[in-house]
Structure 1
Amino acid sequence: MEELSLLSNNTPSINMSDYERPPISREGPIFPEYIKIVSTLFCSLVLVVGVIGNILVPLVIFKNRDMRNSTNYFLINLSLADLLVLLICLPSVLVELHTPPDTWVLGHAMCKLVPYVEVSVVHASALSLVVISLERYHVICRPLQAGYRCTKSRAITAVFIIWILALLSASPLLVLSEYQVIRFLDGTLNPNCITVMETLWSKCYFVSITVLFFFVPLLLLIGIYTVISRQLLIDTYDLTHNQDNPQMKARRQVVVMLATVVLFFFLCLMPMKVFYLWILAVPTETVATLGLEAFFNLLYFCRVMHYINSSINPILYNMTSTKFRTSFLKVFTRKRGNLHREDTYSNTSYNNQTVTNKIRLQYSTSYSMVYKTVCSETHVSHQNSYKSTGSSSSQITKQSFLTSRYDCPSATESFV
């Protein structure tokens, strides 16, 4: 009788130790070659795209001062979590694809580390998405609650708490993951890494973390974004009567970006979670009736979808956020000498003297409307600078800065 277990990367498999090995191979059951080729191509593409994209996200945020806000700190946390998966867990899948099935060649330490990191990152990502969405909810639906404000220091504290909870919740895997050397009926010895689901408490543990860190956040986030969407529609009608209002467009864009990230997170992880629960719910004989080829097809489809989640977020940021897209392009174009801030307006007359007027606003076009009315009273200070050029004419630059008399939250702390 087959023994049901989780193989290596904490993904379901059937332990083949009770199978008579096919006479054509002493290394184990035959692994379909097309699954190996297709999975290797997809995993390699996901690895390259994901590593580059998730390195660029914190680079772009730290190079742009107006993007250093609490929401983007959570996005940096997501990128670092995805990098852990891509650099630790995904390479182990590529190794498994090119070794015999039911064989773990990466040693005892990696047998413990890979499933632990993978599950910890999933939990940390789910909690981060919930916290980000709650912060958006307070900004958009409860703007007058001045007592709540997710500052940068609070965001960093929240990130630490998220990781403590994630690491603790995944810690039982350090015990459940077992590195063994198994002797098969044909006499071969194979190192094996499994997470056995034999006891009642281990089954309850897997069901519990799936419910608490996947399905509960899913339902909670659906509710949050439903309320946020309704509030945005009300604000658009009652406050502006204008669909093209820049404040409302910016608020909607941020919500669309975050909602898209949430959607793809759950879509990519859903196949693996459902596969887990199906393995736990049905008898072992039912799993065995799939056959090896069908089983490996399901297994590696779930794995590829799982790892796509770790590489797709930077792509989603570029597709849904104008600010992210512009900042990503700046990293590649490197034409910084002629670029000004988004809130800088220049009027130039082309004669012997060039006059440039720059107005820097304390709030940007993506600012909350409620705070904008509070911060509307300003005073003007003038700064004149005279810069000599290489020609006989001189360039005169006059800058006017509008600064607020009130200690209002900056625009960068409200929107991505």
Structure 2
Amino acid sequence: MKTTTNFYLSSMAVSDIIILLCLPFDLYRMWRFTPWIFGKFLCKSLALISEGCTYSTILHITALSIERYLAICFPLKAKVFITKRRVKIVIAFLWVIALLSASPLYNLFDNIRVVNETDSSKTIWECRYTKYASDSGLLMIMMWVTTVYFFCPMFCLTILYGFIGKTLWKNRNCIRGPNAANRERSHRQTVKILAVVVLAFVVCWLPFHIGRLIYVYTTSIHVMRISQYFNIVAMQLFYLNASINPILYNLISKKYRTAAYRLLRLARPDERAYN
């Protein structure tokens, strides 16, 4: 299982786990927006962590798709340039880029003291974006950064998978020897997994981005209220994507099922082969 593809998938799994760890705090904010009881550091960090992991997942999917494109369309060059050591360096670089891109969010949110509406003599704490973030336009800039992070990779992935599909279709009758057949089968299996992961990613995250843009740009109170309910559903889809990938891997690939069984000590001791 120690292949370059699995290095990417393992790193994406780390990102998914971190996103899921943020889920209880978002559920709390949906249930009780005020008061915020988890302190200033968590208030400022949650947006950074969530967006950073989101960016990381997008970059990982894009990088992995580029690698598969090179391996299928330019196999000889890919064999020379794509090594485990270089992939590990690329993964570390992707994490750095993702976290740096999300780092401004740390200073855009704060634990703000507001007056209690039922008792003006008391104050409560609310985790929200600061007045400076709104007035300076930085919040809107970060909104566009997030949008670009989603739609630009999706455009690139569409082109990449078009080339990959074209190459696999052209080579379907040109396979010679058992090794070539096994390699072709492996390529098709990997592309199938990635295509399903990308599709799940788009289905689960597109409503989240659309809902957020509607909420920011609408001037209608009625539309804003509807978008709030829409965003609740979109948020659930957002977190669903973080938990659905392992299920997809196991449904599609016998290799992953076997590895999962072994990890959980459910496989037979004499089971050795990966099909």
Are the structure 2 counterparts of residues 250 and 340 from structure 1 closer, same or farther at C-alpha, using a change threshold of 3 Å?
A: same
Could you tell me which residue of structure 1 aligns to residue 51 of structure 2?
A: 119
Decide whether the 8 Å contact of 1:207 with 1:277 is kept in 2.
no
Per the TM alignment, residue 97 of structure 1 is displaced from its structure 2 partner at its CA by 4.1
> Does the residue aligned with 1:217 lie in a helix, a strand or coil?
helix
Per the TM alignment, residue 107 of structure 1 is displaced from its structure 2 partner at its CA by 1.3
Decide whether the 8 Å contact of 1:103 with 1:192 is kept in 2.
yes
The CA distance in 2 between the partners of 1:316 and 1:337, in whole Å, is 25
Given candidates 223, 235, 255, the residue that maps to 2:159 is 223
Could you tell me which residue of structure 1 aligns to residue 229 of structure 2?
A: 297
Per the TM alignment, residue 184 of structure 1 is displaced from its structure 2 partner at its CA by 4.3
CA deviation vs aligned residue, 1:226-284 (integer Å, no higher than 9, x gap): 110111111112336xxxx544332211101011111111221111111222223222x
The answer to whether residue 243 in structure 2 is matched with residue 311 in structure 1 is: yes
CA deviation vs aligned residue, 1:31-58 (integer Å, no higher than 9, x gap): xxxxxxxxxxxxxxxxxxxxxxxxxxxx
Given candidates 239, 260, 265, the residue that maps to 2:196 is 260
> Does the residue aligned with 1:289 lie in a helix, a strand or coil?
helix
Q: Structure 1: 5+ residue runs without aligned partners?
A: 1-66, 343-364, 366-416
One-letter code of the match for 1:82?
D
Decide whether the 8 Å contact of 2:114 with 2:123 is kept in 1.
yes
Could you tell me which residue of structure 2 aligns to residue 134 of structure 1?
A: 66
Are the structure 2 counterparts of residues 334 and 289 from structure 1 closer, same or farther at C-alpha, using a change threshold of 3 Å?
A: closer
The answer to whether residue 172 in structure 2 is matched with residue 236 in structure 1 is: yes
- Give every structure 1 segment of 4 or more consecutive aligned residues whose post-TM-superposition deviation is greater than 4 Å: none
**TM-score normalised by L of structure 1:** 0.60
The answer to whether residue 18 in structure 2 is matched with residue 94 in structure 1 is: no
Could you tell me which residue of structure 2 aligns to residue 191 of structure 1?
A: 125
Decide whether the 8 Å contact of 2:261 with 2:267 is kept in 1.
no
Are the structure 2 counterparts of residues 81 and 127 from structure 1 closer, same or farther at C-alpha, using a change threshold of 3 Å?
A: same
CA deviation vs aligned residue, 1:335-374 (integer Å, no higher than 9, x gap): 44322334xxxxxxxxxxxxxxxxxxxxxx8xxxxxxxxx
Q: What is the aligned-residue RMSD (CA, Å)?
A: 2.3
**TM-score normalised by L of structure 2:** 0.89
One-letter code of the match for 1:93?
D
Could you tell me which residue of structure 1 aligns to residue 143 of structure 2?
A: 206
Given candidates 248, 258, 261, the residue that maps to 1:329 is 261
Are the structure 2 counterparts of residues 297 and 68 from structure 1 closer, same or farther at C-alpha, using a change threshold of 3 Å?
A: same
> Does the residue aligned with 1:193 lie in a helix, a strand or coil?
strand
Per the TM alignment, residue 85 of structure 1 is displaced from its structure 2 partner at its CA by 1.1
One-letter code of the match for 1:303?
M
CA deviation vs aligned residue, 1:117-157 (integer Å, no higher than 9, x gap): 00000111111111101110111000122674321111110
The CA distance in 2 between the partners of 1:208 and 1:79, in whole Å, is 23
The answer to whether residue 214 in structure 2 is matched with residue 282 in structure 1 is: no
One-letter code of the match for 1:297?
Y
Larger strand fraction of residues? 1
Are the structure 2 counterparts of residues 299 and 335 from structure 1 closer, same or farther at C-alpha, using a change threshold of 3 Å?
A: closer
Could you tell me which residue of structure 2 aligns to residue 74 of structure 1?
A: 8
> Does the residue aligned with 2:175 lie in a helix, a strand or coil?
helix
Decide whether the 8 Å contact of 2:20 with 2:239 is kept in 1.
yes
Per the TM alignment, residue 220 of structure 1 is displaced from its structure 2 partner at its CA by 0.3
Structure of greater Rg: 1
Aligned pairs for 1:4-23 within 5 A: none
Larger helix fraction of residues? 2
The CA distance in 1 between the partners of 2:272 and 2:42, in whole Å, is 48
The CA distance in 1 between the partners of 2:234 and 2:224, in whole Å, is 17
Decide whether the 8 Å contact of 2:62 with 2:153 is kept in 1.
yes
Q: Structure 2: 5+ residue runs without aligned partners?
A: none
Aligned-residue identity in percent: 28
Paired residues in the alignment total 268
The CA distance in 1 between the partners of 2:78 and 2:206, in whole Å, is 38
> Does the residue aligned with 2:174 lie in a helix, a strand or coil?
helix
One-letter code of the match for 2:20?
L
Per the TM alignment, residue 290 of structure 1 is displaced from its structure 2 partner at its CA by 4.2
The CA distance in 2 between the partners of 1:135 and 1:310, in whole Å, is 22
